[in-house]
Amino acid sequence: MLQAVNSFLKLRQHLRGVREQDDGWILGLFDYNPKDTDAVGLLAELHDTGVVSECRREGHLVFPPKLGDAGLLELRIDTGKLPGYFETYDSLIERNPDTPPGEYTVWEKNDAFHAGYTAACALLQFLKSKAEVWDTTGQRFFLVDQQAVEIPLISYSAQQTANLPARLPSITRFLDKGHLDADARWAFFRKASLRLLRDLPKERRLGVLMENLANVFDRAQQDHSLYLERFSFEDLLKNFDEKRLNFVNDLNQILASIQTALIAVPIGFFLIAEKFKPAGGWIGQNIVLAAGGLVFFALLIVLSLNQGKTLNGVKLALADFQTEQQKKVTDNSERLKKLLASTWSQYERIRCLLWIVRLLLLLFSTIIVAALLWCSIPAWQQFLPYTATESISAPTTNIVVMPKTP
């Protein structure tokens, strides 16, 4: 049989007007010249083996080697006698749509078609491991989602495989069964394919899929990315909930300290101010009270600075987390945004209260120093008396005159 193919390839060079019929027969014209002994010998050999089943001259059968004078012969060639020979890549696809023959020869020379056919067979073998239903006998497969869509294997042409070699590696990597979410990836690819093919006639589906494989793949990747983002977002939200509890706990501790300070500072101030005594100079009692009050307020200022550092740490953690989630989340994340806004609002409120406490501490410290100076400098006491001075009127004497007795 291999010899028959080799012999026919030599004769094929002399044929013109070749056309292939749907039933596998090839019709061609041969310019017969009795002097071309090599071509005549090939024709006689192929006729004897049944490859050339008919030779006609002007519609009449002739039989090699008795072909008469030179002239045009019409040859009818049986490709069933030529295993592995195909006139075009379309005829190769028609007979072997998903698996290339062990050895084959295509008369049509086209490197792009050859690469495309090889890639098409590789794609179909890959899909065979993924498709829900594969009918080898009927040369078809089904993609099943909400409904089953039939895709015949012979529903593509060589021209439609031109872009497959460039796309196939990325698609097989994306759909590789080694991925942990391989089932989800296949579901997205299948859904994108069905969205394209569902409304087409079944005779066009596989070819259209191959032509638009890039768009199908891009859509599947987009859906997969959205799926990963939603999945990652839930993890991110859970992680933030845990971090938010820590943030809120730190903020509440700072708030508790601030509230304590807001109560303690005025009380401490009035307790100290009550003990001050106006004097004609510097006395120990006033100095000790002023020093104690200033030390107390200084201690509270130190504590407020420490609280400020803790608050700044919470701010940095919140800012880092917000930057991270903005990079990872691209779809609507209103819940996370509201949680972040609420935490930032609480941070700003506590920050404002902390500054109020610091200002009160500075204000009360200044008042204590001013009170010490007032109690120690008589001139200040006369200029700014602690209480209003009441005017004292001169006492009057009432003289009662008793009448004289007779």
pLDDT of 105 strictly over 50 = yes
Query: How far is residue 178 CA from its own chain's centroid?
Result: 20
Compare 135 and 316 and report the one with higher pLDDT. Answer: 135
Q: How far apart, in whole angstroms, are the C-alpha atoms of residue 79 and residue 91?
A: 11
User: 75 and 174: one domain?
Assistant: no
Q: How far apart, in whole angstroms, are the C-alpha atoms of residue 131 and residue 382?
A: 103
User: 154 and 274: one domain?
Assistant: no
Q: Quick: pLDDT tens for 165-207.
A: 998 999 999 988 888 788 888 988 999 999 888 889 989 999 9
User: 190 and 239: one domain?
Assistant: no
Lowest mean pLDDT among 23-32, 61-70, 187-196: 61-70
Cβ atoms < 10 Å from Cβ of 207: 19
406: its two tokens? 């007779």
Q: Quick: pLDDT tens for 113-136.
A: 999 999 999 999 998 888 888 988
User: 72 and 181: one domain?
Assistant: no
Q: DSSP of 249-293, one letter per residue?
A: HHHHHHHHHHHHHHHHHHHHHHHHHHH----SS--HHHHHHHHHH
Supply the range of the domain harboring residue 150: 131-211
pTM for this entry: 0.55
In a domain, 205, yes or no: yes
Q: Are strands 105-106 and 85-86 parallel, antiparallel or unpaired?
A: parallel
Q: How far apart, in whole angstroms, are the C-alpha atoms of residue 331 and residue 245?
A: 25
Compare 320 and 44 and report the one with higher pLDDT. Answer: 44
Query: How confident is the model over 288-293, as a mean pLDDT?
Result: 75
User: 12 and 144: one domain?
Assistant: no
In a domain, 151, yes or no: yes
Share of the chain above pLDDT 70, in %: 83
User: 178 and 324: one domain?
Assistant: no
In a domain, 332, yes or no: yes
User: 353 and 242: one domain?
Assistant: yes
User: 22 and 54: one domain?
Assistant: yes
In a domain, 255, yes or no: yes
Edge-to-edge strand ranges of the sheet holding 140-144: 133-135, 140-144, 148-152
For residue 144, report the phi and psi dihedrals to the nearest 5 degrees.
-115, 120
pLDDT of 329 strictly over 50 = no
3-state secondary structure of 85: strand
User: 241 and 375: one domain?
Assistant: yes
Task: Tally the domains of the chain.
Answer: 3
Compare 325 and 59 and report the one with higher pLDDT. Answer: 59
Q: Quick: pLDDT tens for 213-253.
A: 999 999 888 888 877 766 555 555 666 666 666 767 777 77
User: 191 and 323: one domain?
Assistant: no
3-state secondary structure of 82: coil
Lowest mean pLDDT among 35-44, 108-117, 201-210: 35-44
Q: What type of residue is 366?
A: T
User: 286 and 325: one domain?
Assistant: yes
Contact residues for 109 (Cβ-Cβ < 8 A; gap 6+): none
Q: How far apart, in whole angstroms, are the C-alpha atoms of residue 78 and residue 26?
A: 7
Q: How far apart, in whole angstroms, are the C-alpha atoms of residue 88 and residue 110?
A: 9
In a domain, 118, yes or no: no
User: 200 and 256: one domain?
Assistant: no
In a domain, 404, yes or no: no
Ramachandran quadrant class, 84 (left: phi over 0; alpha: psi -120 to 50; beta: rest)? left
For residue 235, report the phi and psi dihedrals to the nearest 5 degrees.
-65, -40
Query: How confident is the model over 299-307, as a mean pLDDT?
Result: 73
Position 113 scores a pLDDT of: 92
